[in-house]
Structure 1
């Protein structure tokens, strides 16, 4: 009875896993290959649980699929935040270029301040908003109120006193838009540099799938083979999995 309940739970988690992957493949959050790969893994684990293909198959499948069902929404939320950070980086890059072209560009300064504040760069936000108000002191009544709020918030915020360059590590003034050493734009790198690139996240998913498959095969060899044959099969499986993981990470 316990085994039957465990198998039913595995199939339920597999169905959730496949539904999420298919829906995300439709919306473009994952590729069709990744969705197919994850779905096949889920189906194989569900079938293996029903057939008791290897020892501890049910708890192994529950841990694998349950962890995946929790991790996938977290991964999607991460990718969404990374995509928003990319859009903010592109917006702030355009604002930086407009500001460089015309240092008195009121709209560019406001955009710089708003995107900096949104991404936690409070010192830079205050500095650029102050500069914007200096360009149009009569028209900036709302910005003056916002500046006072940000300045009050900055009093309780840790201050660096400089803007770090994510490219070369140099320190530039808080109001700078380009690194004083390497001349790269500072703010786009700060906004987007905190997020792991999407490709690395996809590599992590692939590594996870390879590790799951290798673990399942190792448990199967342990059950079906004996002695030296089992040891050789397990070592060969782990070696192939390690090689695949290295290939995925380096490509």
Structure 2
């Protein structure tokens, strides 16, 4: 595999993926939103890293990125990593927070993927979508984020069959808690919700408190572990359709098989203690 595009490569999982793929001899187009982030990646990379200014919500950025990649030999792999985490009770979230989550996590992913398909068809390449365990199991307090990741799962399943005649494989990676900035920023946002309407805030206090604890989970997996899974998904002779990453993610995935009443009851008791 030669050229791979990684979106959202400035920090966290995306940065770890870009650096690891470079170590394995791939040429990585690392999508960043700031020139300084690209320079930082170049300094840390083993070689073969090419920063590319790419806001996945900008059609002009996407067009320019595709032109640059095509000039440099096309594309054998796409890692859709760019994403936002917006947690908190729906009643306390703003329209802008909801809209931006879907613009990046869903519409941005679709736009970049659509633009990459012609080059991936030529190479019979691979698409790896960074989803989340929240794309398989929806929990209270993350309805907006979980909804966006459920969309990623649906898109992945559909494209896996839709693009199969061209030899393009489409894979989902579903991490649990990760030691990255996205969760720290999410925790800060969740705390901000405490400054909203006092009466509403009190109603959701147990849920917001639990979200803060989860966001600060010191046992989250390092982003390098997710990067290793992405590398395997890109290079395996027969990749899995989906990779669940992390002990917590694997445990939560079991909730899918419980009857709704049992699953809901267990979650309610955990949050509301009743």
Query: When you count helix as a share of all residues, which structure comes out higher?
Result: 1
In our comparison, the structure showing a higher alpha carbon Rg is 1
TM-score by length of structure 1 reads 0.28
Q: Which has the higher contact order (CA 8 A, sep 6+)?
A: 2
TM-score by length of structure 2 reads 0.27
